[in-house]
Chain A
Amino acid sequence: MNLSGYEIGNFFDEMFEDDGRPRAAVRPLVRKIESLSPGELASRQLAADRALVQAGITFNVYGESAGLEKTLPFDLVPRMVTAPEWERIEKGLKQRIRALNLFIDDLYHDRKIIKDRAVPPEIISSSKGFREQCVGLNPPRGIWCHITGTDLVRHGDGQIYVLEDNLRCPSGVSYVLENRRLMKSLFPEVFDASKIRPVSNYPIHLRDMLEYLVPEGSATPRVVLLTPGVYNSAYFEHSFLAQQMGVELVQGSDLAVFDGFVWMRTTNGFERVDVIYRRVDDDFLDPEAFRADSMLGVPGLMAVYKSGNVALANAPGTGVADDKVVYAYVPRIIKYYLGEEIILPNVPTYICAEAEGLAYVMEHLPELVIKAANESGGYGMLIGPHATAAECAEFAKRIKADPRNYIAQPTLALSRVPTLINGLLEGRHVDLRPYVLYGRDIFVLPGGLTRVALKKGSLVVNSSQGGGTKDTWVLANDPATAEQTQTQGGLTTGGGQT
């Protein structure tokens, strides 16, 4: 396949230098793509799509009638990250999650950071993620955010920025694992030549981390994954992770609380549960503590949690730091708790709750991206340069009515990766969500979900808004830590034609 027609455009391209030469790290891949006959890439793409449908790697789209599942579009051209770059990302993420964890713990205890005026008190009173029920709570091992997915982007200046923190129930890691499995079967030769770090041990790390949280005195620790059920959009992932970790996938109705513990109903009677990896939002976790109308939760769960007889991951109440306004203060938060400068910078953010920020935003609306503080999935967003005057006016009204609920950022020129569109490679904008596990130590999965906006020119990568995914290849410094495929190492099989 001839790549000479590929247009880099006026963007940072993850695969090519500005002058069109492939970056050093991607050369084996580029050589491979160039060696394929026209149409070969498309036919491998087709094979990948078919494999996804057959394996039922699907998500449910809200609003579609039951039984209609879609596959998340997968593009087979991977996104690469070099070893030194990844080292910095990993350091930055560890710093960030350590600070955010201290921040959450402080907010639910002494609130020193507010007393010291490093952040304004409104940060709590106006946060939708703050949970009064968690005040004074001491989660097992002092950890609040066990599983984090942090969205990163690269701007036209070549710098990696943190776009947002997902501290509640970040999803998508199942696609990272499945995408890799697919890519290894489609391009084994490139894996051998490129020294790519493996991701398949994520479920092992996840289970280890969860078992670390087991309350003292439990002889046969039992970990379960709590799902809202088959109609949840991420049900496939819940089922996949439970299967990969070898733990039970439970729904609220499978659990009961009595005699001081959480139990699950089995064909052999009740069995005790020690750790719950919950993929149910705080509000629905326990109708006695949170929303009384929740049918998904377990009545009495919070009481057992507070007594220390069950662990929850993530802890309830972490949403307070998963707020787009708090995001803006993260550099100050890191400085306050760790005394360090932020390693991975935030995107410059204008806080509408602050008079200065609001004034700037109102004047520069058509240049900015406006985000509602507590929305996710690409909803409640305005991309100024792509919006009509009427849309801008409408958002201006909304911001004035509730400034605390909005932040604004300059429109970023997200970097692009070649993507197969109608048989040809075209540049498409991407972001990157690495996954971080916080247990005995902090583990950053070397890889992550690269989301790609498949629509030409689009900057919205969310799956609910026409986004797809790519495999993310983090290159190994040390070849010993790279992926092994069966062709490597000269494995011989006995017998045969010799």
Chain B
Amino acid sequence: MLSRVADSIYWMSRYVERAENVARFIDVNLNLMLDSPATDQQWQPLVNITGDHADFAKRYGPVASSQNVQQFLTFDRENPNSIISCLRAARENARSVREIIASEMWLQLNTFYLMVNSAAGSGKGIESRNNFFTEVKLASHLFAGLTDATMTHGEAWHFCRLGRMLERADKTSRILDVKYFILLRSVAEVGTIYDDVQWAAVLRSASAFEMYRKRHGRISPMAIVQFLLLDEEFPRAVRFCLNSARDSLHAISATPVGPHRKPAEKLLGQICSDLAHASVEEIVKGGLHEYLDALQTNVNRASTGIYERFFATRVPESAQPVKEKRQ
């Protein structure tokens, strides 16, 4: 497969997943705000999750409000990680590989983009947008479902899954990081009803509330960290995502899971094996934030390894330039 094509497929898939996660963050925060005192609105953490706080502060000022954060994360075309920018990027990537992906996928992504684009232009208030974020999530699920159901599960499909799973692992870890940090800051509130509400919100932002209940029952921070970080079966858990990414990576390079000859595979394999043996008590004792920080750094290094290995095929150093013969 052409390197450029693989790159486009990978980013198409990553951008759709990113758009979905941004919608999740906002949707949950909106719900959370309904249960919180109006004076205690927390919108800054959402900007922190995306990692674009510097850009936000520069263009919107120091105060993060419900309104400006939603604008920044949803319809701001200058923010490369806003929902609309993600979809535009996903669509442009898809357009350049239309002969590779299933036509159903292109149709769905095009419809998805047009829906967000028309919402951006409608100028309606925030109140009417609650439904909008649900629509974004569903459209993303539809796209992922079409990818799985209409595309041959060959190399291109594995690049789709690789992109989607790396992105999802990154975003789930960010949710955990930011929320944990915010919540543990007010130690006095731990164990109160308000705290439970907050934690339930964290779970909901990963669509994990019900599945968590089935597995762990009572809401406890330790069990939540266990569930979102280390669960092997929940599809938004970091470990699940990275295991899937690892499997796709091995399918692409046609090496069995186990021997790690290439840097990207080796790195991802190590991360997965660390997660398999990690205990949540030790992680929290050593500092969850530090653990997640190191995890994200390693995942980023794996992404860079994927770029180097598959997308940035470079001319070998021994190559001889072609000169025209004099006639």
Residues of A participating in the B interface, judged by any CB pair closer than 8 Å? 54-56, 66-67, 136, 229-230, 239-240, 242-243, 248-251, 253-254, 256-260, 264-270, 300, 302-304, 306-307
Contacts and interface: CB of A to CB of B under 8 A. Distances in A.
6 contacts: A230-B96, A239-B99, A259-B319, A265-B3, A265-B4, A300-B321
A67 B120 CA distance: 16
Contact of B155 (A264, A265, A267, A270): A267
Interface string B136-164: 00000000000000000001000000000
B233 interface: no
B313 interface: yes
Given A304-B322, A306-B325, A307-B322, 13 more contacts: A67-B91, A67-B92, A248-B2, A250-B4, A251-B4, A256-B315, A258-B315, A258-B321, A265-B4, A267-B2, A267-B252, A303-B322, A303-B324
Given A56-B106, A136-B327, A243 B322 contact: no
A55 B106 CA distance: 9
A250 B322 contact: no
B182 interface: no
Nearest to B91: A67
B323 interface: yes
A240 B315 CA distance: 30
Contacts of A66: 92
Contacts of A249: 99
A267 B320 CA distance: 22
B171 interface: no
B260 interface: no
Contacts of A267: 1-3, 6, 155, 252, 310-311, 313
A264 to B, nearest CB: 6
B325 A254 contact: no
Contact of A55 (B91, B103, B155): B103
B320 A259 contact: yes
A266 B320 contact: no
B107 interface: yes
B3 A266 contact: yes
A180 to B, nearest CB: 19
Nearest to B254: A268
Nearest to B327: A136
Contacts of A257: 321-322
Interface of B: 1-4, 6, 88, 91-92, 95-96, 98-99, 103, 106-107, 110, 155, 252, 310-311, 313, 315-316, 319-325, 327
A253 B320 CA distance: 18
The 3 closest A-B pairs by CB, nearest first: A258-B319, A265-B313, A243-B99
A66 B322 CA distance: 37
Contact of A56 (B96, B98, B321, B327): B98
A384 B321 CA distance: 54
Given A230-B92, A266-B313, A254 B2 contact: yes
Contact of A303 (B92, B310, B319, B323): B323
Contact of B88 (A67, A254, A304, A307): A67
Contacts of A265: 2-4, 313
Contact of B3 (A56, A254, A303): A254
A66 B319 CA distance: 38
A230 B327 contact: no
Contacts of B324: 302-303, 306
A242 B88 CA distance: 25
Contacts of B1: 266-268
Contact of B320 (A54, A239, A260): A260
Nearest to B7: A267
Nearest to B93: A230
Contacts of A269: 313
A302 B99 CA distance: 28
Given A229-B96, A243-B99, A250 B313 contact: no
Q: Which of A54, A259, A267 has the most B CB atoms < 10 Å from its CB?
A: A267
A136 B92 CA distance: 42
Nearest to A236: B98
Nearest to B309: A267
A227 to B, nearest CB: 9
Contacts of B110: 56
B322 A258 contact: yes
A250 B315 contact: no
Nearest to B99: A243
A266 B2 contact: yes
Contacts of B103: 55-56
Nearest to A136: B327
B84 to A, nearest CB: 12
Nearest to A289: B324
Nearest to B98: A239
A267 B316 CA distance: 15
A23 B315 CA distance: 63
B189 to A, nearest CB: 47
Nearest to A264: B2
A22 B14 CA distance: 58
A240 B327 CA distance: 39
B2 to A, nearest CB: 5
B106 A250 contact: no
B312 to A, nearest CB: 8
Nearest to A288: B324
A259 B315 CA distance: 10
Nearest to A271: B2
Contact of B325 (A248, A256, A307): A307
A92 to B, nearest CB: 35
A303 B327 CA distance: 12
Contacts of A266: 1-3, 313
A407 B151 CA distance: 53
Nearest to A244: B99
Given A56-B106, A67-B88, A240 B323 contact: no
A243 B98 CA distance: 9
Nearest to A258: B319
Contacts of B91: 67
A253 B4 contact: yes
Nearest to B319: A258
Contact of A230 (B95, B106, B252, B325): B95
A136 B322 CA distance: 19
A266 to B, nearest CB: 6
Nearest to B94: A230
* Residue picked from B1, B322, B325, most chain A C-beta under 10 Å: B322
A307 B310 CA distance: 30
